[in-house]
């Protein structure tokens, strides 16, 4: 079965430090890949997406992610985090050529920022 | 500005009561979705609709019902048959088939 794994439930980093959130997926072909962010009590907002082409994608708020086909990974990175980045981050996958109804979300990684 | 509006934001219900959550969008998107979110879990799909007057069950449709009479509106009813309805409910829409979803701010339902 297709799945999305975010191995880190909770991560704490210091303000100004770099960040990497991990995401691995299980799917035979190249899927569409997404990262969403959710502030407490709010809906989700799209950070970035990968459909095809350049495997390093830039998103909003200074985030980027790199698709590595050989590792079935789509890790999210930010060179220097800000206190406002504290939130929950969800990786999501849509099997290629499927509709959004087939999207699979990871269980999320909660990011805390240490002052 | 275009977006998705969910109401109410907080809702309390007694056991045995049905409750309807509202979702309205002015993005002119064809597809709309309802998700349930529980602590420590990802989002689970309840129902989705890709066109007016048509909708499909998602992974956890039991105890829920929907309607899609207008393109802009996709209300969700949580019925008394839903065994554990306390959760955060998210409505979303999409304009394409690719999984780029636009979310409302959610409705938190608590059963007393």
User: What is the pLDDT at residue A19?
Assistant: 97
Burial class of residue A100 (count of CB atoms within 10 Å of its CB; 0-12, 13-18, 19+): buried
Q: Which positions ≥6 away from A23 have C-beta within 8 Å?
A: A4, A5, A6, A33, A35, A73, A74, A75, A76, A91, A106
CB proximity A60 to B under 8 Å:
no
Residue of A nearest to B33 (CA): A101
pLDDT tens figures, A22-78: 999 987 677 899 999 999 989 999 999 998 889 999 999 999 999 999 999 999 999
What's the alpha-carbon Rg for chain B, to the nearest Å?
Answer: 13
Average pLDDT in the B73-95 region?
Answer: 94
Mutate to test the interface with A, among B4, B37, B99 (most CBs of A within 10 A): B99
B71, pLDDT greater than 90: yes
Q: Which chain B residues are closer than 8 Å to A93 by Cβ?
A: 99
Q: How confident is the model at residue B75 (pLDDT cuts 50, 70, 90)?
A: very high
The full DSSP string for B65-109 is: EE--SBTTB--EEE-TT-S---EEEEEEEESSSS---EE---EEE
Among candidates B7, B10, B3, B19, which has minimal Cα distance to B92? B3
User: What is the pLDDT at residue A102?
Assistant: 83
User: What is the pLDDT at residue B42?
Assistant: 83
The helix/strand count (H/E) of chain A reads as 0, 12
Instruction: Report the C-alpha gap between B52 and B109 in whole angstroms.
Output: 26
B97, pLDDT greater than 80: no
Average pLDDT in the B12-25 region?
Answer: 94
CB proximity A107 to B under 8 Å:
yes
Q: Which chain B residues are closer than 8 Å to A43 by Cβ?
A: 4, 6, 90, 92, 103-106
Mutate to test the interface with B, among A44, A52, A102 (most CBs of B within 10 A): A44
Residue with the larger pLDDT of the pair B21 and A115 = B21
Average pLDDT in the B3-11 region?
Answer: 96
| Mean confidence (pLDDT) of chain A | 92
In contact, A111 and A13? CB cutoff 8 Å: yes
The verdict on a CB contact (< 8 Å) between A51 and B98 is yes
CA dist list (Å): A53 to A49, A56, A57, A67, A68: 11, 9, 9, 10, 12
Among candidates B56, B66, B59, B24, which has minimal Cα distance to B43? B59
User: What is the pLDDT at residue B29?
Assistant: 93
pLDDT tens figures, B20-56: 999 999 999 999 999 999 987 789 999 999 999 999 9
Residue of A nearest to B93 (CA): A100
């Amino acid at each position: 079965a297709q799945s999305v794994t975010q191995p880190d439930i909770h991560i704490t980093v210091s303000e100004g430090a770099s960040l990497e959130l991990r995401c691995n997926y299980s799917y035979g072909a190249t899927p569409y890949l997404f990262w969403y962010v959710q502030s407490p009590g709010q809906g989700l907002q799209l950070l970035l997406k990968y459909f095809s082409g350049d495997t390093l994608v830039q998103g909003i708020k200074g985030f980027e992610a790199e698709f590595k086909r050989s590792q079935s990974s789509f890790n999210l990175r930010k060179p220097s985090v800000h206190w406002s980045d504290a939130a929950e981050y969800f990786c999501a996958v849509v099997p290629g050529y499927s509709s959004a109804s087939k999207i699979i979300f990871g269980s999320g990684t909660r990011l805390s920022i240490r002052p | 500005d275009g977006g998705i509006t969910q109401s109410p934001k907080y809702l309390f219900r007694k056991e045995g009561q049905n409750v309807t959550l509202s979702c309205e969008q002015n993005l002119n998107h064809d597809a709309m979705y309802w998700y349930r979110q529980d602590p420590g879990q990802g989002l689970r799909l309840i129902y989705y609709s890709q066109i007016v007057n048509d909708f499909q069950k998602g992974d956890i449709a039991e105890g829920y019902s929907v309607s899609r009479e207008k393109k802009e509106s996709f209300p969700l009813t949580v019925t008394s048959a839903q065994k554990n309805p306390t959760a955060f409910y998210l409505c979303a829409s999409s304009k394409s088939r690719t999984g780029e979803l636009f979310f409302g701010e959610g409705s938190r339902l608590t059963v007393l």
